[in-house]
Every structure is written in C-alpha cells, then in structure tokens.
A and B are shown apart, each in its own frame.
Chain A
Amino acid sequence: MGKPDKEAMKALRKQRKAYIDRAQQEMKKQRKLIKAIKEQIKDEPKTVPRIASEAKLQADQVLLYVAALRKYGQVVEVDKDGDYFTYKLDAEA
C-alpha cells in the first residue's frame, strides 16, 4: 500500500475510535510503567521484587514488562541474587 489517502484515514479513525482511544490510554500507562522500570535498572541490576518495591509497582507487572523489554532487546538478565535473577538496561540498546 502506498501513502494512504488522508480522508480515508480520517474515516477509518472515526470507525475505529473506540479501539484507538483504548489503545492510546493503554500506551500512556505502558510508557509510564516502562520509564519507571528503566529508571530503576539503568545504573545497577535489580531483581523483580526490588524494582517493584522501589518503583511502587506490582511485581507481576514488573516481570511482564521486564520480559517484554528483554524480548525486544532493551533489557538483559545479569546474575542471580538468592532465588531471583537480576536485570539491567542493555547498554547497547
């Protein structure tokens, strides 16, 4: 598909408004969450419970986003600390 027609895109946005609004709200929340996680692990590797406790987030949410950031090459797993693995931002990302 070449560059879509402006009017057609406008009509499509109107048609999918409910989905788009929901996706945009979700995106906002996700950006905030990812920023908070990245902030925690930019200088030193941390475990999921430590990130969750210091960023005041839920541990399962932190693990979900750490897993996704790892998948998309932004976070790496480092060492083990007790029963937990630690994660840090990938310097090359």
Chain B
Amino acid sequence: MKETLRLQYDALVIGGGIAGLQSALDLADQDFKVAVIEKDATIGGKMIRLSKVFPTLDCASCITTPKMAAAAHHDNIDLFTYCEVNSLDRSQGRLKASITQKPRYVDPDKCIGCRQCEYQCPVYVPDQEQGGFNLRKAVYIPFSNAIPQLALIDVEHCALCGKCAKVCPTEAIDYFQQPEDFVIEAKTAVLATGFKLTPMDQKKEYGQGQIPNVISSLQMERLLAPHGPYQRVIRPSDGKEPDSIAYVQCAGSRDLSLGISYCSRVCCMYAIKQAMLLSGALPLADITIYYMDIRAFGKGYEQFFQNAKAMGIEFVKAKVGRIEQGENHNVLLRIEEQEGDGRVVRREHDLVVLSLGMVPDWNPAGICPVGTGDDAFIKCVRPKLAPTLTEMEGVFVAGVAAGPKDIVDTIAEAGAAAMEASNYLNSSASGRAA
C-alpha cells in the first residue's frame, strides 16, 4: 500500500484569495515556511475576478496579480491548488490537515500552459469564470492570468476523443489520474476561506434567476472587466447595448425571508463603483440605484458616493417588490418609493443587476473544531481586541471568512492574522519547520 505523503510547514493557510495570499506573504517574509491550500484550480479568489476596486477605481487585477506572482515565486511558500481540506485537527502540539489533491488529468510537471489542448478540444462548456456568459472547452486553463498556468480536464464534459493528448507537445495529458491524499503538519493555521454571493434563485419575487437580463453583481464585474465575456457591456439575452441599467440594493442582505438579517457592508459601494464604471463605458445610458440606505462608511467612501451623484447616477430610495420579464427582453420593476408619497410605481430597464449579499463559502463543521456565529461566518472569540482569534488554539481567521468586509479591511485583517500566527509560532517551544 502506498504511504501517505506527509509535509511539514510552520503555517498552513486555507484559502488562496487576497486574504490568504496576504497572510501567507506576511508569514513567509518573516522566514516561516507556509503552505497555501486552495480549492480552485488557481489562486486569486474573488478579487482576481473583479474589474476595479472602490473607492480608488484601481484595476483589481493590477493589485492581485503581483500578490499572486509573489506568493508563487516566494521561496518560503508552497501553493497547493485544486485541493480539498478533509480535516484539520490538533494533536501533540501540532496541527494535522488531511488534504485531497483533486485530479486535473494533466501532469502538472509536464504542462507548459500552451493551451493547444484547449484550442483543439471539440466540446464547449459554459464558463462560470465569465459568469456563464461565454464558453470554455472541456480541457481548459481557468483564465489568462491564472496561477498556476496549468490545464485541467472537466471529465463530466469530456468525450474522451483523445484530441488533447494528440496535440499536447509535452505528453502532459493523463486520463487516468486519481485523487491523491496527503497530510500537512503545521504549528499554526490561518483560515481565509472567503465568501460566495447569496444564490440568485432564492427569491421568487426577483425571478429566481430565470429572467435573462437580471444578473448578479459578480456577473456585472465580468461584463465590466477588460477580458470579460463580450469585451464590452452588452446584455446577455440578445447583445443589445443597454440604454437603461438598474441596481437593486439589499437583494440578498437584510432580508429575513432569506434568513440573512445582516448587512453585507460592500454592496452599496460596489454598486456605486459599477455605476460609475458603466457611466464611463456607456456615457449615454441612464443608471439608477434603488436603495434602502446607502452605507458609505470607509475612508473616502462618502465622497465617492457624492461623486457618483454628481456624475448623474440616479439614486432612488425605494424597495423593489417584484421583478418581471417585460417586452423586448426588457425588465419590469415594481417599486415602493420610500420618499414623497410612498406610491408604488412600475419602471422598465434594459438590464437589472441584483446587489447580492455575502454568505460564507466554507463550513468548518465536521472538518475542524472551529465554531461559527449565528450568521454562519467563523466565530471570533475576542472580536474587539483580537478579531482574528478562533475557538481553536493556534488557528486564526482572516477576511470575509469571519464576516462581510471590503478589500481594505480584508487585507488589514489578513496582516493581523499573520502577526497573531507569527507570535504564536515564536512563543512555541518546538521551533520552525526544517
């Protein structure tokens, strides 16, 4: 029987998004050996999939890509992508993580990322990296600045025609690859497991994801990105350049009918950011934001909101009660105004964006003894004085894994988690990994 591979590190970071990468880099720069475990085939998390960031309107990729490259090239960091964490336990003073490497069906030591396999593959598959608005192949590299640049085969859509193996110049295709289990032992860990958006299909009143020109905020990020599905903003039902775009705020937050009572903290600002970017991309389009309250709490955020108003973006204080399919692929909104006489009115738009909220992307139940709060995010045991401490000794939390927050706060918290982990390592008697 094959012996399970056991690897030793000082720190284990679970999640390769911006929080995980920042924690890993901060620890590695202090000369600790760090392993980063990522469930996707590439590191970068949600941030690498965004167009720009608020309130500076810097290119998200221009900030994230150097962090990804720095982590990939750091002597003290090893990246384990396309992996699942099965368990994380502490025994005899060390953390032990049982991990499964999912098969890519491509030999990572041979693949040179040339994409010849992808070009030859005859099967098209909806590309979720592009919000489902474009297609990829059954063998593919997730996106052009993915790290690592390694192809993988989606076996559920693979016809096993052999074309990829035939054109691969390095004979990297391995149809017989199997999942491989291995163990990482470390003294400390940082949980940076991020978030996902509230599902589109939950709210009956908003069409349950069945109205083609009602899209999510992350789908709009892809439409606005330079390497987006259409390389411009057009609506997905028929390719029309929209003249009228609406944002529905609190579409997945502060809504007890969805079981989400909390505010997701970033939706107001990302909607304003997207509205400003749309004003630039489509100068003649009317952009309306239907909101309950605008929460512009961070540094420079209120000014950003005021700038958006000055640019001509219409802010309507109203609750959207119903979204329906209109004529000519348009979308009808039934809204209750919260100013003036509070009347119910109907308005029509070419494209509608739901400002969906944040929910955790990972549940530690059954994997590690870390508790969660009523909101299902990881519980912080000292939220005011040490917000990165969890219920498990030597295990810290960073970023949205602990609760909704923006990128600025996520990066600051990731640095704090790295410092807590570093202090923990320095205070322990057994020293650093060899």
How many residues on chain A are close to B (CB under 8 Å)? 37
A91 CB within 8 Å of chain B:
no
- Nearest 5 A-B pairs (CB), nearest first? A48-B239, A68-B135, A23-B159, A59-B238, A1-B174
B241–A9 touching, CB < 8 Å: no
Contact A85/B134 with A1-B172, A27-B159, A72-B119 known, Cβ cut-off 8 Å: no
A/B pair count, beta carbons within 8 Å = 100
Complex interface: chain B residues within 8 A of A63 (CB): 230, 234, 236-239
A52 to B36, CA, bound (A): 47
- Among B137-193, those with CB < 8 Å from A are 138, 155-160, 165, 171-176
Q: Are A83 and B124 in contact (CB under 8 A)?
A: no
Q: How many angstroms from the CA of A66 to the CA of B173 in the assembled complex?
A: 29
Chain A 1-36 per-residue mask, 1 if CB under 8 angstroms from chain B, else 0: 110100011001100100110111011001100000
Cα A59 to Cα B175 with chains together (Å): 36
Where chain B touches its partner, the secondary structure class is loop
B138 near A4 with CB under 8 A, answer no
Min Cβ gap B84→A in Å is 21
Residues of A within 8 A of B (CB): 1-2, 4, 8-9, 12-13, 16, 19-20, 22-24, 26-27, 30-31, 47-49, 52, 59-60, 63-68, 70-72, 77, 80, 83-85
Chain B residues with CB below 8 A from A1, complex form: 107, 165, 171-176
In the complex, B123 has a CB within 8 A of chain A: yes
**A27: B residues at CB distance < 8 A:** 122-123, 159
Q: How far apart are the CA atoms of A88 and B122 in the complex, in Å?
A: 21
A19 near B175: Cβ-Cβ < 8 Å: no
Which chain A residues border B329 with CB–CB below 8 Å? 59
How many B residues touch the partner, as a band? 35 or more
A59–B157 CA distance with the chains assembled, in angstroms: 24
Chain B positions within 8 Å of A70 at CB level: 231
- B75 sits at the interface (CB 8 A): no
Q: What's the Cα separation between A29 and B214 when bound, in Å?
A: 27
Complex contact B155–A19 (CB within 8 A): yes
Residues of chain B contacted by A72 (CB below 8 angstroms): 119
- With a cutoff of 8 Å between Cβ atoms, the chain B residues found around residue A24 in the complex are 159
A67→B134 contact, CB < 8 A: yes
Contacts of B171 in A (CB 8 A): 1-2
Are the C-beta atoms of A12 and B175 separated by less than 8 Å? Answer: yes
Minimum CB–CB distance from A24 to chain B (whole Å) comes to 5
- Could you show 29 A-B contacts with beta carbons less than 8 Å apart? A1-B107, A1-B171, A1-B173, A1-B174, A1-B175, A4-B165, A4-B176, A12-B176, A13-B160, A16-B160, A20-B160, A22-B156, A22-B157, A23-B138, A23-B158, A26-B123, A26-B157, A27-B122, A31-B122, A49-B239, A60-B212, A60-B238, A65-B124, A68-B124, A68-B135, A72-B119, A77-B231, A84-B240, A85-B234
Nearest B residue (CB) for A12: B175
Q: Once bound together, how far apart are the Cα atoms of A47 and B53, in whole Å? A: 33
Task: Judge whether B155 and A64 touch: CB under 8 Å.
Answer: no
CA distance A49 to B241 in the complex (A): 12
Chain B residue nearest in CB terms to A29:
B124
Cα–Cα distance between A50 and B29 once the two chains are bound (Å): 57
Determine the chain B residues whose CB is within 8 A of the CB of A67 once the complex forms. 133-135, 229-230
* Cβ contacts B322-349/A at 8 Å (1 or 0 each): 0000000100000000000000000000
- Give the shortest distance, in Å, between A2 (CB) and chain B (any CB): 6
Determine if B31 is an interface residue (Cβ-Cβ < 8 Å).
Answer: no
Nearest B residue to A80, CB-CB? B241
